[in-house]
Amino acid sequence: SDHKIIERWERIYLEEGPEGLSVERRGRSSTGRSKKLPKEVEEDLLAEVQRLRAENDYLKNLQALVLEDERRQHKKRW
């Protein structure tokens, strides 16, 4: 059981940082509805996710083009 407590502390530390360990956690956690973000914050986060996905796709395509160009340059040398 001590092993499980240490695993729980490690998980809390990794997820929440040192501040997470200072929060007292006794009893059962709430099973109620999760707190909803304000509409503006939610929209900002969704826009950021969309922007990051587009950037990720762009970088993947760029990497593929660079690799293809390198392969062509390599073939020209031989």
Query: Domain-by-domain residue ranges, the chain?
Result: 2-26+36-77
Residue 25 has pLDDT above 90, yes or no: no
**Whose structure tokens read 């986060």?**
45
What is the tens place of the pLDDT at every residue in 45-72?
999 999 999 999 999 999 999 999 999 9
Mean pLDDT of 40-47: 94
Q: What are phi and psi of 30, to 5 degrees?
A: -65, 135
Rounded-to-integer distance, Cα 9 and Cα 36, Å: 26
Q: Is 20 exposed, middle or buried (0-12, 13-18, 19+ CB in 10 A)?
A: middle
pLDDT score, position 30: 65
Rounded-to-integer distance, Cα 6 and Cα 42, Å: 34
Lowest mean pLDDT among 4-8, 21-25, 48-52: 21-25
pLDDT score, position 44: 95
DSSP-assigned letters across all residues of 39-52: HHHHHHHHHHHHHH
Q: Structure pTM? A: 0.48
Mean pLDDT of 4-18: 88
